[in-house]
Amino acid sequence: MNRIKILIQELIILLYVSLLIGCSTTTVHVNTRYLNDIDSQTIKSELKAKGLKVEFNDLVFPENITSTSILYSPFISNKVALSQIENILATSGFHVEDISALVAANHWYTKDTIGLFIVPDGIHPNSGKNSEDIALQYQSEQCDKSIQLNLQKNGKFTYEFSTAQENMKLTGTWSITGYPYILLESEDPYLHYYLEVSRNKAMDKISEIMLVKLTPLTNSPVISNCTFLHGIRI
């Protein structure tokens, strides 16, 4: 009798699990690194209208992805979603160059998940020449104080540090004047400061790292003449 009760309980559990799997919603991970807010929200709305769950991320593109691509789990149950996504992107003016069931770099896709990488015209992912690839949080090196320089995607920057003797926070705008040169500007206090962008690969005990370095080209009485560094694990 106990054996029958155990079998019935196991059958109920199996049925419950199968129902959960059958009712699971496909999640689309949309990389918005090179998308503007309008396109991001439009695509999100259209995907959700198809019953898909949408999550945004701003991760660095895998090096082997250079055009609009869809990566999906080999275990995906909703194969129709792939053609739905392709049609939505086409309507928004983005042509899908590749649809693959695979893993790209550190982007892993589990059951019922899809990765969507959108590349607008004129953008070359990870070239280092896009403002999106330079808009990072940098840390000073070879400097007499620890300084943080945050270049934001909206074209603004913050420069700040804190020591026992003084605190400083400076805000302004930044722009690419002609790659690899960028310009930091502020009206009060006045700042007109050029830096050169360079990129190099390094290796630590875990994996390869892309180092983005900002080297000062001019002097300023307002900010320290330091180099800045940001590391991106690839």
* 38 DSSP assignment: H
Distance CA 225, CA 217 (A): 9
- In this structure, the number of other CB atoms found within 10 A of the CB of residue 68 comes to 20
* pLDDT given at position 86: 95
Residue 117, beta-bridge partner list: 31, 69
Element (H, E) at 3: helix 2-22
CATH number of 25-117: 3.30.70
The partner residues of 139 in beta bridges, in order of sequence, read 148, 229
* CA nearest to 116, candidates 158, 62, 183: 62
Q: What pLDDT was estimated at residue 79?
A: 85
Q: Which among 196, 151, 191 is positioned nearest to 174, based on CA atoms?
A: 151
pLDDT of residue 215: 96
pLDDT in tens, 163-176: 777 888 999 999 99
- pLDDT per residue, tens digit, the chain (234 aa), is 555 444 444 433 333 333 333 445 789 999 999 999 999 999 999 999 999 999 999 888 888 889 999 988 877 878 899 999 999 999 999 999 999 886 555 455 567 889 999 999 989 988 888 999 999 999 999 888 899 999 998 999 999 988 777 888 999 999 999 999 999 999 989 999 999 999 998 888 788 888 999 999 999 988 888 999 998 877
pLDDT of residue 109: 55
Q: Where do the domains of the chain lie?
A: 25-117, 131-233
Stretch (H or E) spanning 232? strand 227-233
Give me the CATH topology for the region 131-233.
Lipocalin (2.40.128)
